[in-house]
């Protein structure tokens, strides 16, 4: 008979394969790379644990000027040496948590977002091994943890916060509190990080979340693009009026 290890391996392969197929349908490639905003990228590292997809997240170091102590994905601003958004995400993940680029199976780039500093932030999705041991760079990262991806459509602790962008675009912001059973700690995941995690979960699972989202779930690709273009238009108009 096949060993339990073999079954884990085949179920892991199946889980990954299903996710890969879904993600490739949503790959935006370099469709938004020409937009005249400063560029940044984040890596959304997916891993399979006990047959379920998980997402690796980091906590920003307390001594950082911007957003100290906040939960985010490994990532940062594009540098001159980066060929594209994927390069940026992989370089930053290596600098922040010691993840070697060759240990990442890059699947796609998803619909970008725009952060508080009006950077165009591209989420790059990749698979990493569940055995990956992060070595956080203390100057940038104070902690690393994983959350089951399903938490971002079926959370135990969730609230929506109203917010307005600097360009006057008002919306709701997802705010999750995740109690990590391994670490006996609570993490607050919100803002653009939560926005990307929710979209990733919607793409992969294709299920309705237990909370409201501003997408037409039957036309996720086109409604995500419309949302983004509205946000971009509001930022761009403000920039040209300054």
Q: Which domain holds residue 95?
A: 4-241
DSSP sequence for 165-212: -TTS-EEEEEEEEEEETTTTEEEEEEHHHHHHHHHHHHHHH----SS-
pLDDT of residue 164: 79
pTM (predicted TM-score): 0.94
Tens digits of residue pLDDT in 128-154: 999 999 999 999 999 999 999 999 999
In sequence order, the 6+-apart residues with CB closer than 8 A to the CB of 231 are: 113, 114, 165, 169
The alpha carbon of 20 is separated from its chain's Cα centroid by a whole number of angstroms, namely 15
Give me the CATH number covering residue 52: 3.90.79.10
For residues 51 and 60, the answer to whether their CB atoms sit within 8 Å is no
Tens digits of residue pLDDT in 55-94: 999 999 988 888 888 999 999 999 999 999 999 999 999 9
pLDDT confidence tier of residue 114, bands split at 50, 70 and 90: very high
The total of structural domains in the chain comes to 1
In sequence order, the 6+-apart residues with CB closer than 8 A to the CB of 43 are: 73, 74, 75, 89, 90, 92, 93, 99, 104, 124, 126
Q: What is the mean pLDDT of the chain?
A: 93
Tens digits of residue pLDDT in 211-229: 999 999 999 999 999 999 9
The alpha carbon of 92 is separated from its chain's Cα centroid by a whole number of angstroms, namely 14
Taking Cα atoms as reference points, which of 225, 142, 220 lies closest to residue 183?
A: 142
In sequence order, what E strands does 95-157 have? 105-109, 113-114, 120-127, 141-148
* Alpha-carbon span 193 to 113, nearest angstrom: 10
């Amino acid at each position: 008979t096949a060993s339990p290890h073999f079954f884990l391996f085949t179920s892991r392969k199946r889980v990954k394969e299903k996710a890969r197929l879904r993600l490739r349908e949503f790959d935006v490639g370099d469709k938004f790379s020409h937009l005249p905003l400063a560029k940044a990228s984040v890596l959304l590292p997916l891993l399979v644990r006990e047959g379920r997809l998980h997402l690796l997240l980091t906590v920003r170091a307390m001594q950082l000027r911007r957003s100290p102590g906040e939960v985010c994905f490994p990532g940062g601003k594009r540098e001159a040496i980066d060929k594209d958004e994927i390069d940026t995400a992989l370089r930053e993940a290596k600098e922040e948590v010691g993840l070697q680029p060759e240990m990442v199976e890059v699947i796609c780039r998803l619909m970008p977002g725009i952060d508080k500093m009006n950077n165009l932030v591209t989420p790059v999705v990749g698979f990493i091994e569940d055995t990956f041991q992060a070595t956080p760079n203390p100057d940038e990262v104070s902690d690393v943890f994983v959350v089951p991806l399903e938490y971002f459509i079926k959370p135990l602790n969730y609230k929506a916060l109203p917010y307005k962008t600097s360009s006057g675009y008002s919306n709701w912001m997802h705010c999750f509190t995740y109690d990590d059973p391994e670490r006996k700690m609570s993490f607050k995941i919100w803002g653009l990080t939560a926005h990307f995690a929710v979209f990733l979960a919607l793409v992969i699972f294709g299920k309705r979340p237990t909370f409201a989202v501003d997408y037409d779930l039957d036309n996720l690709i086109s409604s995500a693009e419309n949302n983004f273009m509205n946000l971009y238009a509001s930022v761009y108009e403000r920039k040209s009026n300054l």
